[in-house]
Amino acid sequence: MELHDKLETKFRLDEKQRKALHRLGLFSVHDLLFHFPTRYSDVSEVRQIIELMPGETATVCGRISKLKTKKSFRSKIPMGEGELEDLSGKIKITWFHQAYLAKMIHNGDNIKLTGKVTQGKNGIYLANPEFEKIIDAPTSTHDTLFKNKEKENSGFSYPIYRETRGITSKWFYHAIEKIFREKTLDIIEDYIPADILKKYNLPTLKTSLIWIHKPKTEKDATAARKRFAFEEVFCIQLERQHDKLEYRKNKSFQVESNKEDVEEFLRRFPFLPTNSQKKSIETILSDMKRNFPMSRLLEGDVGSGKTAVAATAAYMTVKQRPFDYTQGKPQDFGNLQVAYMAPTEILASQHFESFIQYFKHLPINIGLITGSGCRKFPSKVNPSGWTDISRAQLLKWTANGEMPILIGTHALIQKTVKFKNLALIVIDEQHRFGTEQRRKLVRKDNVAPHLISMTATPIPRTLALTIYGDLDLSLLDEMPAGRKQIITEIITP
């Protein structure tokens, strides 16, 4: 049996079963093998009805019947009643004040009940038991899916799969058994290297598949799930590293900087930069000197000065002339361009006002593009203020390279927005700006912009390196002097 074989060619399926499997997204042997149990129903705790004694809390498993609802004779309390049967006997079930529970299950259903065994006039009964509906459940520990291997499994559990009408957990169990008998697992290649498996004490792929479908103990099932969880993270990291290497194959604008210009620009801020800001600026500017694009995540709490770091990188970018790769030297005119994307129009407008204060001493145009309209600084009428302009005019200036800094919302990455020499992208919080979006910004001559992605979400370093494995990490872990404490409150209407 091959992994790519269609299920209908290897299993005897009627039309109802075939459609049911397709609804679950299962088409091949591979799909079925990696359709894992959602949980395991523990049968080690299940008692036989004949063993039950008044006063104890017990779990029994069997087939329900004689379901009905009524009101008690004297107090008129709504009640639900039924009878549970296993191979050893029968017991009455009573739900007081919960008559609706008797309507949630049907006669003939296999269920597992846990409740207090109570002595009544006509014998014992289970009072107000919790129930778990199980399709094809065993009626005792001696009638489990592992009945032929009871000693091996010690009555641990049997797998419960995600099901649909026409396909049950019992069908999945026997189908998996057939795959195992065909020795299909012998041809599966484990794509996690053996040294990594050994380092993290993980089972092989073959062992994990056996343990997750047919665990002998709870420890086996846990080990298998740990391996597949590790595998998921491992594959994410591989994909991120691949994307990172692919993106670095592009050329990028080499942005030169010097200490004097950086210090002069930092003096324009109303606070002294922190050590972590200085370190992040130094790292970012060092990255931007290289001939391949930077991809960096800048993480810091609200008020830690992420915008100041990004503005410094933007300043050093727009000071530089574009490099003409056809001539092999910098151009004699124009500036490199910066795109700054914010999650909301309000934040975009705030950044626009902030950048005006940072760059008003320079002969540099700053644009704002949102769904509500477009603005430009400086205004021809009022050089110290901004003016509203048409979208068409803003797009024209951006495409010609006459708008060195463009701030906006998601409108920045629309097809109509074209840059001439985009050298740096700054992405503020809450934006899904992944590999695919970055590829779209790579020019036809394979020149890609540098990227700074900022977040205020406190992500642990290890998790950040996993989720954002294609980005290098810079951390702002201190607040500028004099900053007020951030207060987070819930305000009720």
Tell me whether the CATH fold assigned to 44-142 matches the one assigned to 259-476.
no
Whole-angstrom distance, CA of residue 177 vs CA of residue 44:
22
- What are the DSSP calls for 205-216, one per residue? HHHHHHHHHS-S
CA distances from 202 to 40, 199, 232 (A): 21, 8, 13
| Residue 333 pLDDT | 67
280-306, pLDDT tens digit by residue? 999 999 999 988 899 888 888 887 888
308-350, pLDDT tens digit by residue? 999 999 999 998 887 766 666 767 667 899 999 888 899 999 9
Task: Show me where the domains of the chain are located.
Answer: 7-41+150-238, 44-142, 259-476
| Residue 166 pLDDT | 81
| Residue 239 pLDDT | 82
Residues of the chain with pLDDT under 50: 137-155
161-206, pLDDT tens digit by residue? 888 878 878 789 889 999 999 888 988 889 899 999 999 999 999 9
| Residue 57 pLDDT | 85
Element (H, E) at 185: none
Q: CB-based burial of residue 425 (10 Å sphere; 0-12 exposed, 13-18 middle, 19+ buried)?
A: buried
Whole-angstrom distance, CA of residue 186 vs CA of residue 180:
9
Task: State the pairing for strand pair 78-85/57-71.
Answer: antiparallel
Fold for 259-476, please state it. Rossmann fold (3.40.50)
Q: How many other C-beta atoms are found inside a 10 Å radius of the C-beta of residue 491?
A: 4
Query: Which residue carries 């020499």 as its tokens?
Result: 421
Element (H, E) at 223: helix 218-247
| Residue 316 pLDDT | 93
Long-range contacts of 348-354, Cβ-Cβ distance < 8 Å, separation of 24 or more: 348/407, 348/408, 348/409, 351/307, 351/407, 351/428, 352/377, 352/386, 352/407, 354/307, 354/311
Query: Cα torsion for 373, 376, 377, 380, to the nearest 10°?
Result: -120
- What are the DSSP calls for 162-177, one per residue? --BTTB-HHHHHHHHH
The dihedral sign for the CA sequence 151, 155, 156, 160: positive
| Residue 150 pLDDT | 43
Whole-angstrom distance, CA of residue 297 vs CA of residue 57:
55
- N- to C-terminal Cα separation, the chain: 63
What is the C-alpha radius of gyration for the chain, rounded to an integer number of angstroms? 33
- CATH superfamily for 44-142 is Nucleic acid-binding proteins (2.40.50.140)
The angle at the Cα of 74, spanning 71 to 76, to the nearest 5 degrees, equals 30
| Residue 476 pLDDT | 84
Task: State the pairing for strand pair 472-476/450-455.
Answer: unpaired
| Residue 276 pLDDT | 92
Q: CB-based burial of residue 448 (10 Å sphere; 0-12 exposed, 13-18 middle, 19+ buried)?
A: buried
Q: CB-based burial of residue 159 (10 Å sphere; 0-12 exposed, 13-18 middle, 19+ buried)?
A: buried
The dihedral sign for the CA sequence 375, 376, 380, 384: positive
Whole-angstrom distance, CA of residue 321 vs CA of residue 256:
10
Whole-angstrom distance, CA of residue 102 vs CA of residue 66:
10
| Residue 197 pLDDT | 94
